[in-house]
Amino acid sequence: LAKTTQPISMDSYEGQEVNITCSHNNIATNDYITWYQQFPSQGPRFIIQGYKTKVTNEVASLFIPADRKSSTLSLPRVSLSDTAVYYCLVGLSGAGSYQLTFGKGTKLSVIP
């Protein structure tokens, strides 16, 4: 499974746009890129998934360049409640088992 590298932590002021970049140099052709969010004492929560170019939903945007060796999660106008750990995962190639492989994640702290 492709290994991912992302910042250990980031700080942001409320109202700013936050971009978290993830490197996945060994991503396979069939792999998707997925981001999860985890608040303290809770399980991870799906945010967004993409394969290439750009994906947007009500929560975030995901930018994937043509070579797919990296991706950027963009959170518009963050609030204090966005303080959490954000995980970038690659895989889910449909081989029958959709086990998720988590890395260390990026701890985002939003400050007033």
Partner 1 sequence: EAGVTQFPSHSVIEKGQTVTLRCDPISGHDNLYWYRRVMGKEIKFLLHFVKESKQDESGMPNNRFLAERTGGTYSTLKVQPAELEDSGVYFCASSHSMTSGRGYEQFFGPGTRLTVL
CB of residue 78 to partner 1, shortest distance in Å: 22
DSSP state of 80: G
CB of residue 51 to partner 1, shortest distance in Å: 11
Query: Which 71-100 positions form the footprint of partner 1 (CB under 8 A)?
Result: 92, 94, 96-100
Task: Tell me the window of 13-21, 35-43, 52-60, 64-72 that interacts with partner 1 (CB under 8 A).
Answer: 35-43
Task: Tell me the window of 5-13, 14-22, 72-80, 101-109 that interacts with partner 1 (CB under 8 A).
Answer: 101-109
Q: What is the separation of C-alpha 50 from the centre of its chain, rounded to a whole number of angstroms?
A: 10
Query: Residue 79 burial by CB count (10 A; 0-12/13-18/19+): exposed, middle or buried?
Result: exposed
What is the C-alpha to C-alpha distance for residues 55 and 38, in angstroms, rounded to an integer?
A: 20
What is the C-alpha to C-alpha distance for residues 101 and 74, in angstroms, rounded to an integer?
A: 21
Query: Which 36-55 positions form the footprint of partner 1 (CB under 8 A)?
Result: 41-46, 49
Task: Find the length of the chain.
Answer: 112
Residue numbers at the binding site for partner 1 (CB under 8 A): 32, 34, 41-46, 49, 92, 94, 96-104
